Amino acid sequence: SLDDIGREAVSAIASHTSAPLVSISLCDDHPTTPVTILASNWRSPLQQGRLARIALLDELLDASDGVVLVTDIAKQLAREPNFVAHCERDGIRELVLIKLHHGGRELGTLVFQYLKPGYVEELDPEILRALGKMLSLAISNTQHFLDLEYRASHDSLTGLRNRSVLHGCFATEVDTSNAAALLLLDLDRFKAVNDTCGHLAGDNMLREIAKLIRDKVRDSDLVARLGGDEFGMLLLRCPLDKARQIADDVCN
């Protein structure tokens, strides 16, 4: 999993380098989308959750072939006073930024943080690039596997589970020991929407209906798109009167 890769990578890097603080962040190709901290060996608020991307750091990474050595944070990052202030507050004296990318796609950043000066100048940028490439390959392969796994179990249009997941869940979860209900929904006159308004409007309509159904059922219920304008809802451990209530809520 990505969490395992991040945790193992941070642990290995921290134990085999002079960097006391190591973190890995993930991002997408949109410069305005916040980055997500995958793994870190410290608990600063700066290294948790989702953070706004820092344009200057992206610029420096692009201009230096993916490796930036920051020996004077206040001077080299003067255009980002808030980030400089965070570093000063946490006692960060030097930084190493390594861009993570694979196959022309940006993945994130590996960051070394030093509490004392004098370490960064001794580092070999080529070794850092090689480290970034290895970590990028591991992350990219895992993301590809997770994407394939998602596509195999979800409907690409609505994001709901697909027919095969519903069939599998019905076969393994439904038995005589618990009450369950299977609700099937078919939209009336959906073909007319596609014919008169176009398939884009029809797709948008299916997405909205999927959201409405998901809002009407319980969190534990399985909602799937069976194909076309057909949906299925598997309600496990659900008494008959509750299943009827949910069916009425969905239809209304």
Q: What is the pLDDT of residue 179?
A: 79
Q: What is the pLDDT of residue 49?
A: 61
Q: Which of the four pLDDT bands, split at 50, 70 and 90, describes residue 55?
A: confident
Residue 234: pLDDT over 60: yes
Residue 43: pLDDT over 70: no
Tens digits of residue pLDDT in 12-37: 999 888 888 999 999 877 767 788 88
pLDDT averaged over the chain?
Answer: 90
Tens digits of residue pLDDT in 85-135: 989 998 999 999 999 999 889 999 999 999 999 999 989 999 999 999 999
Q: Token pair for residue 72? A: 């004077």
pTM: 0.74
Q: Which of the four pLDDT bands, split at 50, 70 and 90, describes residue 44?
A: low
Q: What is the pLDDT of residue 154?
A: 95
Geometric angle at alpha carbon 80, from 78 and 84, rounded to 5°:
75
